[in-house]
Amino acid sequence: QIQLVQSGPELKKPGESVKISCKASGYTFTDYAMHWVKQAPGKGLKWMGWINTYTGKPTYADDFKGRFVFSLEASASTANLQISNLKNEDTATYFCARRYILFDYWGQGVMVTVSS
Amino acid sequence: DVQMTQSPSYLAASPGESVSISCKASKSISNNLAWYQEKPGKANKLLIHSGSTLQSGTPSRFSGSGSGTDFTLTIRSLEFEDFAVYYCQQYNEYPLTFGSGTKLEIK
């Protein structure tokens, strides 16, 4: 069955970096783009951007340009999100979701906590 | 950017009742609107796309309506498993945007 399995929770200090992963299974990885969505505590969903899993080209929403990097380990059917120079406001749950036209499968989310 | 205004933010109802959730887009998005369900410990679930088309596996008590700027999600005869948070999302243009969510709780 189709699954997106994300890595575990992270506790980081301001200024550190974090890399979270999203491993896909049950379908051809390169047939669907992988998108990333942020959910701050008690808040709604905010689209961060996406990565073309065939070409590896990332596209970032305006609020996520600079410190955020989408990457692939295509041979492992895995998409990664790296956030550098972490700030308190990066504390959130980060979801991956595959998309052709719709987000039809989501990962379970990764809670990233940034605290000194 | 297309702003999605979802209401109410909170809704309390009893099993067996029917509820409706509104989602308004700041400009026309045709019928490029989806509804998702969020439950603790579970992956978000796509319920409805194209404004009114049920995704495979979505129970028929769920329905969607609307086009252009005004959309509605209706759940008839609520079951215990329906108490969750619901989000609308437009996919007519980038950036993709979501409504702020509606938390449906048991009365």
Q: Which whole-number Å values give the CA distances from A75 to A30, A57, A79, B64, in the listed order?
A: 10, 16, 10, 39
Partners of A34 in the beta sheet? A51, A98
Closest Cα of chain B to A46: distance in Å? 7
Q: What tokens appear for A7 in the block? A: 């890595």
- Kind and range of the H or E element at A4? strand A3-6
- Could you give the 3-state DSSP secondary structure of residue A112? strand
Question: pLDDT at position A65, please?
Answer: 97
Residues A18-42 have a mean pLDDT of 97
Residues B89-107 have a mean pLDDT of 97
Enumerate residues 6+ apart whose C-beta is below 8 A from A4.
A22, A23, A24, A96, A97, A98, A105, A106, A107, A108, B43
Q: If you ran DSSP here, which 8-state letter would residue B9 be given?
A: S
Question: pLDDT at position A76, please?
Answer: 92
What one-letter code names the amino acid at A10? E
A98 pLDDT tier (thresholds 50, 70, 90):
very high
CB-CB under 8 Å, B36 with A104: no
Which residues of chain A are within 8 Å of residue B96 when distances are taken between CB atoms?
35, 47
Question: pLDDT at position A104, please?
Answer: 94
Q: What percent of chain B has pLDDT over 90?
A: 98
Question: pLDDT at position B35, please?
Answer: 98
Question: pLDDT at position B42, please?
Answer: 93
CB-CB under 8 Å, B87 with A95: no
B55 pLDDT tier (thresholds 50, 70, 90):
very high
Cβ A98 vs Cβ A104: under 8 Å: yes
Cβ neighbours of B15 (radius 10 Å): 13
What one-letter code names the amino acid at A104? D
Instruction: State the pairing for strand pair A3-6/A18-25.
Output: antiparallel
Residues B40-53 have a mean pLDDT of 95
Q: Is the pLDDT of residue A74 over 90?
A: no
Average model confidence (pLDDT) across chain B: 97
Q: Give me the residue from B41, B55, B87 closest to A45, CB to CB.
A: B87
CB-CB under 8 Å, B99 with A106: no
Cβ B9 vs Cβ B102: under 8 Å: yes
CA distance A59 to A11: 26
Cβ A113 vs Cβ A8: under 8 Å: no
A69 pLDDT tier (thresholds 50, 70, 90):
very high
For chain A, say whether B43 makes contact (Cβ under 8 Å): yes
Enumerate residues 6+ apart whose C-beta is below 8 A from B51.
B31, B32, B33, B64, B65, B66, B67, B71
Q: Give me the residue from B91, B97, B99 closest to A102, CB to CB.
A: B91
For chain A, say whether B34 makes contact (Cβ under 8 Å): yes
For chain A, say whether B46 makes contact (Cβ under 8 Å): yes
Residues B46-75 have a mean pLDDT of 97
